[in-house]
Amino acid sequence: MRESWDRRVQRAEQLVADSGPAASLLAFYARLLRQQRTVYDSLDDRTLSGAIEQDAALIAGGATAVLEEVAAHGPAPLVAEARALLACDASAIRALLVDHWRTRSDRQFFAKAILQPYGQRLVEAGRTYQRSASLSGERCPRCGGAPQLSILEAAGAESTDGGSRTLLCATCLTGWPCRRVRCPACGEEDERKLGYFHSETLDHIRVDACESCRRYLKTIDRGRLGLAVPLVDEVAGAPLDVWAQEHGYDKIELNLVGL
């Protein structure tokens, strides 16, 4: 729904106004979210087939706005890449999108940013996809994407009611349930090898880490902050990414600011 993009943009703008240490990241992310919303608006699920080879041309039509925004306001490496893509013909962008849809690399900034609105459109239209056999770990049951983050829902009025855990897909931005005590990367369920790192400074965000595979992802606890918009607050929790990566943990899926 378009409202979900509005909420993301508003939350990002709100966090930028708070002037936290991640404000510059969030300022860029707010710009990107606005352009992703434009891509989302440009897509009509009645004309989408669900096959990336056929839909890539439709998606690429709206991708120019994303490329131009990043070329104007992004960091140097992304600016160079955006300009190169803008200089190419549409077939290069189509090939980029098709390749990313098949291989799903979190290093492909533009393909990931442009395909997120597409993925969300398809899921809202009730489309699902064949999961690739080569993908490992917890994967989105709808599109096969890796989890960007997890969400702890506020279960009830009592703090002792345990909230369920949902993983948010990095590709189609929809959630699917996951066990609380389980590593989404390797499936580890030994409680002695799992744990979370938390700071009162970022009270509603925690780092869920696995000692077996040394991977992590951030969890947004909506029981602690109901106003949180997970995708945006995950970016605002950038200091925790820095801390986790300095301590030798690898993130399951880099977000759109590269953390």
Partner 1 sequence: MAISRRAFLQSSIAGGAALTAFGFDVTPVVAQAKTLKIARTSETRSTCPYCSVSCGVIIHTLGDRAKNAVPQVVHVEGDPDHPINRGTLCPKGASLEQDILNERRLLTPQVRRPGSDRFEDISWDAAVDEIARWVKTTRDATFIAKDAKSRVVNRCEGIAWTGGCTDTNELNYLVVKTMRSLGVVYLENQARV
Residues in contact with partner 1 by the rule CB under 8 A: 20-25, 28, 74-78, 81, 107-109, 155-156, 158-165, 179-181, 191-192, 194-202, 238-240, 242-243, 245-246, 250-251, 254, 256-259
How far apart are CB 197 and partner 1 at their closest, in Å? 5
**Ramachandran class of 204: left when φ > 0, alpha when ψ lies in -120 to 50, beta otherwise:** alpha
Q: Which DSSP letter does residue 22 get?
A: T
Is 74 or 147 the residue whose CB approaches partner 1 more closely? 74
E strand or H helix that includes residue 115: helix 109-124
Pairing of strands 147-152, 165-169: antiparallel
The half-sphere exposure of 94 on its side-chain side, counting CA atoms within 13 A, is 12
Q: Which DSSP letter does residue 221 get?
A: E
Name the E strands within 90-249.
Answer: 147-152, 165-169, 175-178, 194-198, 205-210, 215-221
Is 149 or 256 the residue whose CB approaches partner 1 more closely? 256
Closest listed residue to residue 150, CA positions, set 221, 250, 227, 256: 221
How far apart are CB 46 and partner 1 at their closest, in Å? 34
How far apart are CB 21 and partner 1 at their closest, in Å? 4
Is 121 or 148 the residue whose CB approaches partner 1 more closely? 148
How far apart are CB 56 and partner 1 at their closest, in Å? 21
How far apart are CB 180 and partner 1 at their closest, in Å? 6
Is 23 or 92 the residue whose CB approaches partner 1 more closely? 23
Is 172 or 259 the residue whose CB approaches partner 1 more closely? 259
Is 44 or 203 the residue whose CB approaches partner 1 more closely? 203
Whether residue 164 contacts residue 192, with contact meaning beta carbons closer than 8 Å, is answered with no
How far apart are CB 147 and partner 1 at their closest, in Å? 16
